[in-house]
Amino acid sequence: MRSLRLLRALLPALVAAVPSTSVAPIALAAPAVLQAGKVDANYTILLGGITIGRFALDTVLDGKSYTITARGSTSGVTRFVSDGKGYLKSSGSIVGSRILPAAYLLDTSENGHRNSTVSMQMNAGNIVHVAALPPLAKKADRVPLLPQHKRNIFDPLSAMIVPLVKGNMAAACNRTVPVFDGWQRFDVKLYYKGTAEVDGLNGSYKGSVVVCGARYVPVAGHRPTREAIEYMENNKALEVWLAPVESLGVMMPYRMQIGTEVGMLTIHASRFVGEAETQRASVE
């Protein structure tokens, strides 16, 4: 098991903390007013308590649209981890409380060699073009991807933006998330577990976060007989913590965890700072 492949497959499932129990785009009651600004976050990736990588997540909002960029790397410090790098970018529009993806890119390399790329164009969450390499191998037991599996979906990065409902952070949980990553279509069933307090350093977010449990449900593109699929379907050690960025009217992932056969994989924010344009202007 290699960490880069694990993150590519499972991290999107874990951080996709959006829409409701239908597969329609998110529509939350009484969301906070979305503001222009940005969220800068850096994350440390640990496997069994050992640091195996880091990545940065930059989110820019203008009240009507968004762009999210992620850059990260893993390091082969254990036999379960390879040296890898990843670049992801997503953009789309925000209409009221609805997040509508428009474009998604992924480019990863392992041990110095490119090993996967994805390019998707969407119209309000409906795939109009997708190219993913390497292509899925033809296998008799693979569940076929049909046209309906590419409608009303979220790409992995767009799913990170959750409109904030003031006074009810728990609304970010108790949802089922439709995700398409370029190869597979799966749902993530989220449920509310509680809240936690975090104490960020050097100006990072300090306060309450909502803790969502998650279950992975494969839909199409997967092979049901694969041991990894069965393991993830039964995996109860999936969790995401969402932190509010009240000045922007959104929530974003602060901490994630994935139970694996070789220990707990955790992704924890070492820096998490969000501010509206009006805040930056007042400082300047």
Domain count, the chain: 1
CA atoms of 52 and 45, how far apart (whole Å)? 6
- Tokens for 187, please give them: 């749902």
Q: Please tell me which residue, 82 or 13, carries the higher pLDDT value.
A: 82
Task: Read off the pLDDT of each residue in 191-198 and give the average, rounded to a whole number.
Answer: 94
User: 159 to each of 82, 114, 122, 145, 281, how far by Cα in Å?
Assistant: 27, 25, 14, 21, 29
pLDDT per residue as tens digits for the range 144-183: 999 999 999 999 999 888 888 777 777 888 888 899 999 9
Segment 34-77, tens digit of pLDDT: 788 999 999 998 988 889 889 999 999 987 899 999 998 887 66
Domain boundaries, position 34: 3-283
pLDDT (tens digit, 9 = 90+) per residue, 77-94?
665 667 788 899 999 998
Query: For residue 44, which of 259, 261, 255, 274 has the smallest C-alpha distance?
Result: 255
What is each CA distance from 251 to 57, 58, 223, 224, in whole angstroms? 14, 14, 33, 33
Measured between alpha carbons, how far is residue 140 from residues 49, 212, 224 in Å?
A: 39, 36, 11
Q: pTM here?
A: 0.85
